[in-house]
Chain A
Amino acid sequence: MEVINIKGTDDTPNVILDKTSGQFEISGRSLPEDVNQFYEQILDWIDAYANDPLERTEFNFKLEYFNTASSKVILDILLKFEEIVENGKEVLIKWHYHEDEEDMLEAGEEYSDIVEIPFDYIVYTD
């Protein structure tokens, strides 16, 4: 599969989707007003990946900020990985949050209430 490697901006995140190296990551800021425009290719990529996923996928979310428009797309992404879990493969969501950011931890916990995928919460300090 092609590798997606998008560099983040003021209002869009870094995205790495690389099946060969097993790297899956969305990090930084996600505040675009038009979320569909930004996330379309990412959702398409994950759809294609879901057809032939790795035995085990670790997906890292390390977001500093995201707006509510992005929160819906993040759920869409998680729902696609839930399907992969339903198809018998292993998926782990690694949800990173800053120690000062309880809101980000809570956001992760809310997602894990909605989707049937195991979540690991990883605190960082920098």
Chain B
Amino acid sequence: MEKEKQGFLDFAYQMYKTMKTNEISLVYEGEVTQEITKTFTSLTEKSLSKSAESNTVQKKVFNVMVECLQNISKHADSLSDEDEERRGIVMVSKGDDSYNIITGNIIKNERVAGLQESLELINSLDKVGLSNLFKKQIKESTISEKGGAGLGLIDIAKKTGSKLTYQFKELNEQVSFFILTSTIKRN
């Protein structure tokens, strides 16, 4: 028992060190709701406003976080059909020349191909191409029942000016885990 407690303390300390070394300011796993989105974005906004980061970068980080989190709260699937909670992981880290916002959530395998196609299209476009795609989509899209407009990923790519980095890990025959990294350059 004592040994187990000691092990946990060691783990907590290792985690603290890892977070410090990599300047990870936020790690979360759990349900993602609008309340959670508001809390995390306002925490990040406050900590950024105390930093020397330019306003432009601060606003981009805030904007991208909102889109990433609302993507989860609107579109994430769950491990089983009985479970209606939209969960995910969220991590924000600061590197020497960029901020990374990493999100992960469950997605049904049948939706993977469509999402992958959208991501590949977005990554193939330059600034003007993204702007044209955004205008096309916003004109065509009618707001779904969930209130989304399917524009989030295009917006993230436009605001970051970086390619979207992503991965799908198949968990079983029904679902995969989708990880997305959005990178905001600091200068």
Q: Which residues of B contact A65 (CB under 8 A)?
A: 59, 62-63, 66
Q: Does B34 contact A (CB under 8 A)?
A: yes
Q: Quick one: closest B residue to A70, CB to CB? A: B149
The smallest beta-carbon distance between B160 and chain A, in angstroms, is 10
A100-B37 in contact given A10-B42, A35-B143, A72-B151 (Cβ < 8 Å): no
Alpha-carbon separation in the docked complex, A98 to B58 (Å): 13
Q: Which of A11, A72, A100 contacts B56 (CB 8 A)?
A: A100
The smallest beta-carbon distance between B13 and chain A, in angstroms, is 35
Q: Does A102 contact B (CB under 8 A)?
A: yes
Q: Does B5 contact A (CB under 8 A)?
A: no
Q: Does A103 contact B (CB under 8 A)?
A: yes
**Chain A residues engaging chain B, CB cutoff 8 angstroms:** 10-11, 31-36, 65, 67-69, 71-73, 75, 98, 100-103, 106, 110, 113-114
**Chain B residues engaging chain A, CB cutoff 8 angstroms:** 34, 37-38, 41-42, 54-56, 59-60, 62-63, 66-67, 70, 73-74, 131, 134-135, 138-139, 141, 143, 147-149, 151-152, 154-155, 158-159
The 6 A-B residue pairs with the shortest CB-CB distance in the complex, in nearest-first order: A68-B151, A100-B55, A72-B149, A33-B34, A68-B155, A100-B56
